[in-house]
Amino acid sequence: MPLATDTMRSHFPALREGAAHFDAPGGSLVPAVVAQAVADTLASAVNQRGTFTVADRRTTEVVRNARLAVADLLGADPGGVVFGRSMTQLTFDFARALAKTWNPGDEIVVTRLDHDANVRPWVYAAESAGATLRWVDFDPETSELTVADVEAQLTDRTRLVAITAASNLIGTRPPIKQIAEKVHARGALLYVDGVHHSAHAFVDIAEIGADFYACSPYKFCGPHVGVVAASPSLLETLNPDKLLPSANTVPERFELGTPSWELMAGTTAAVDFLAGVGGPSNAPRRERLASSMAVIAEHEDALRDFIEAELAQHPRITIYSRAQDRTPTLLFTVDGMDSCEVSSRLGELNINVPASNFYAIEASRRLGLGDAGGLRIGLAPYSSADDADRLLAGLRSII
């Protein structure tokens, strides 16, 4: 079933502002149902979790529903779904908690393809534990990061590998499942950054072998909040710093302070919204999500292929997104023009194409783009052929 673009777009109030949005990898727009769920939760009586009052029970229910929703989205155990302010904050927290289990001489592996949120927390954590940091590179010519690239950095001292499921800069999807097998064969853990990947694919964390899987609902039509999913039994082995009286149960022990109930409710609404994209059905939500994400991927990939083919014909444009398996995200530069200038001139035409290293700073440097990065075209379920035409016409008028 092809995605019904007009119906899809009608759900997003922000589209009425008239911009053509290619900025979803920085944060997608939100459908009205998600905004409503956040507002409704804020406008209702919620308090702390408990059973004595309506407010207590409602709060408990909001949390329960949010964990169930994320579990359906990722194929996770709801008892291992941890909410936090952002993926960055959660990864710093998990890195600190995991570092308590490392010894001097242990080895931690990070990649130059990753967003810095899945690099720097491990750099600091390794340093604090006296562990050795090892780097995996990707090939800037092909954009690929291979199993062999990771394997070359694994030893019997490897304790953890942190790697992205998809690069937010160039879209590359490394072969996570095969990488997980190699990592587990060494007895190490795999921490997967699924922030960019989760917006574009059906995820099954057990299938791919992620011990920890991080994502951010604001990248898939939800509110600004972060999530890490892991098995409850693995979480039980970790002892993060926490307040003495706060719950020591899993996953609560990882959620410092009072969580944002309204954003949890918004996350549930976002997952329900995505589950509905594949059309009405009585199938369980996870099955509907599988169909929906296939519909979304087909729509986004077709638009990406169209845009990419047009860009490729322009002699002054260089495209850096070259991996075989990748998201609908294109990084490019224009010869002789500053990316920020191109972005700003497109912005004057109400076309949102940001320019940056997008915090994938190691990847940007590896590509030879320094800290400036390039222009990023990112697609979302609400992206349309008309948006693509506006973009290409806008670019033609500028370069």
Ligand X SMILES: Cc1ncc(COP(=O)(O)O)c(C=O)c1O
Rounded Cα–Cα distance for residues 106 and 58 (Å): 45
What order do you get walking across the sheet with 329-334 strand by strand? 317-319, 329-334, 374-378, 355-356
The only residue of 193, 300, 362, 387 in contact with ligand X, by rule CB under 6 A: 193
The only residue of 8, 150, 180, 195 in contact with ligand X, by rule CB under 6 A: 195
Least separation in angstroms between residue 81's CB and ligand X is 15
**Binding mask of the shown chain, residues 48 to 87, with x at each position contacting ligand X by CB under 6 A:** --------------------------------------xx
Q: Taking a C-beta distance cutoff of 8 angstroms, is the pair 218, 225 a contact?
A: yes
Contact between 11 and ligand X per CB under 6 A: no
Contact between 376 and ligand X per CB under 6 A: no
Rounded Cα–Cα distance for residues 223 and 217 (Å): 6
Cis before residue 251, ω within 30 degrees of 0? Answer: yes
Please say which residue, 25 or 394, places its beta carbon nearer to ligand X: 25
What's the distance, Cα to Cα, between the start and end of the chain in Å? 37
Please count the residues of this chain forming the interface with ligand X, following the rule CB under 6 A.
14
Rounded Cα–Cα distance for residues 170 and 327 (Å): 8
Least separation in angstroms between residue 190's CB and ligand X is 15
The most distant pair of C-alpha atoms in the chain lies apart, rounded to whole Å, by 68
Contact between 323 and ligand X per CB under 6 A: no
Contact between 267 and ligand X per CB under 6 A: no
Least separation in angstroms between residue 174's CB and ligand X is 12
Least separation in angstroms between residue 52's CB and ligand X is 34
Least separation in angstroms between residue 219's CB and ligand X is 7
Stretch that binds ligand X, among 111-119, 137-145, 150-158, 346-354 (CB under 6 A): 111-119
Please say which residue, 182 or 196, places its beta carbon nearer to ligand X: 196
What residues numbered 212-241 form the site for ligand X, per CB under 6 A? 216, 226
Contact between 115 and ligand X per CB under 6 A: yes
Contact between 196 and ligand X per CB under 6 A: yes
Please say which residue, 59 or 329, places its beta carbon nearer to ligand X: 329
Query: What amino acid is encoded at 71 in this protein?
Result: A
Contact between 117 and ligand X per CB under 6 A: yes
**Binding mask of the shown chain, residues 148 to 177, with x at each position contacting ligand X by CB under 6 A:** ----------------x---x---------
Least separation in angstroms between residue 33's CB and ligand X is 21
**Binding mask of the shown chain, residues 24 to 43, with x at each position contacting ligand X by CB under 6 A:** -x------------------
Q: Taking a C-beta distance cutoff of 8 angstroms, is the pair 100, 246 a contact?
A: no
Positions that interact with ligand X (CB under 6 A): 25, 86-88, 115, 117-118, 164, 168, 193, 195-196, 216, 226
